[in-house]
Amino acid sequence: MAAALRIALVLITLGCVYLFVIHPLWFPVGVSAQAATLDHAFSVAFWILGALFVAGQVVLALVLLRRKPATSSTHWYGNWRLEIGWTLAITVIFFWFHVSGARLWSSSAMHHPAADALQLEVTGVQFQWYFRYPGADDKFGHVDAQKFAKANEGNPLGIDPGDPAGKDDIVSSAMVLPVGREVDLTLRAQDVVHSVFIPAMRFKQDAVPGMEIHTHFKPIQTGVYEIACAELCGMGHYRMRAAVRVVSAEEFGKWLKSNSAANSRE
């Protein structure tokens, strides 16, 4: 039984290592400015914790190996020196680990978006995403979903028709972004909590009703990527998707122009 248990622990460890070496699934290619940094931090964490995992399982298998003859007596109640040494070692590792994590967090969440960042508002509604651009005046019109929202009349968000700032707002069902320019997001929700998850951008942020949450990221590669909803929002949660189209600055300009004509609320 002892041998079987040891072999099982070793096989499980090898199996897990094998699984992560071949990794049939992994991160999608990162296409935002912070993706490389985050991926690197993940790899570092992954290697350290992976090493501790292997060490832990192997040590567990090894202690099962050592058997003394049945007659010997071991009244071993512990060893403070070992205990303190081990505790200090693990404290140092995790303290360093934590500090590097805190630095990463402050670099990703603790600064303001660039002054020329694209303004974009994302609104979650069961079970759709709406993306609003402020138009030529760079101002979002006032929104009152309860008073003005009419999905079938082209105003799903409820932009106040009496607010001049809202006249040129563009509402789209796809997120279109110019490459290489930071985007300053405002997240809102009309009904329940949703969460904007763009794996390729390494981006996730909940959209909470009653709150306006500001955050930002910068796409650095053109292409089409998917947005998935990551907070349980009801029966259609699994299909609450949208596309992010990252295009060149010129193409983005053209898209804005063609949409402002189509979207005008005159």
Partner 1 sequence: MEARRHRETQESASYGFLRHYLFTADHKMIGRQYFFLSLAAVLVGAWLSLLMRIHLVWPKTAIPFLGEIKPENYLAYLTMHGTLMVFFVLSTVPQNGFGTFFLPLQLGTSEMAFPRLNMAGFWTTLVSFLMLMAAFFVPGGPSGAGWTQYAPLSALAESGPGQALGTDLWLVSIGLFCFATILSAINFVTTTIQKRAPGMTMMRMPLPCWSWFVTAILSLLAFSVLTAAVIMLLLDRHAGTNFFVPGGLLVSGKPVDHSGGSALLWQHLFWFFGHPEVYIAVLPAMGVTSHLLSVFSRKPVFGYRAMVGATLAIGGLGFMVWGHHMFASGMNPHAGFAFSTLTTAIAVPSAIKTFNWVGTLYSGRIRYTTPLLFSVGFVSLFITGGLTGPLLAQPALDVYLHDTYFVVAHFHLIMAMAGLFAIFSATYFWFPKMFGRMMNERLGRLHFWITLAGAYAIFMPMHLLGIAGHPRRYSDLSGVQYVAAMLPLQRFITLAAIVTIAGQLIFLVNLFWSLRRGPAAEANPWECTTLEWTLPSPAPDAGFAGRQPVVNHGPYEYGSFGAEKDFLSQDAPAT
Window 175-194: contact mask with partner 1 (x via CB under 8 A): ------------x--xxxx-
Q: Does 166 bind partner 1 (CB under 8 A)?
A: no
Q: Cis link prior to 94 (omega < 30° from 0)?
A: no
223 Rama sector, left if φ>0, alpha if ψ -120 to 50, beta otherwise: left
* Cβ at position 243, least distance to partner 1 in Å: 9
Residue among 177 and 185 whose Cβ is closer to partner 1 = 185
Q: Does 43 bind partner 1 (CB under 8 A)?
A: no
* Cβ at position 253, least distance to partner 1 in Å: 28
Q: Does 27 bind partner 1 (CB under 8 A)?
A: yes
Interface of this chain with partner 1, residues 127 to 146, rule: CB under 8 A = 144-146
Which one, of 118, 121, 115, 159, lies nearest residue 253 by Cα?
A: 118
Neighbouring CB atoms inside 10 A of 130's CB total: 19
Where does this chain touch partner 1 (CB under 8 A) — which range of 64-72, 133-141, 163-171, 251-259? 64-72
Where does this chain touch partner 1 (CB under 8 A) — which range of 113-121, 130-138, 203-211, 250-258? 203-211
* Cβ at position 75, least distance to partner 1 in Å: 4
95 Rama sector, left if φ>0, alpha if ψ -120 to 50, beta otherwise: alpha
* Cβ at position 180, least distance to partner 1 in Å: 22
From the list 32, 128, 155, 195, which residue makes contact with partner 1 (rule: CB under 8 A)? Answer: 195
Q: Does 167 bind partner 1 (CB under 8 A)?
A: no
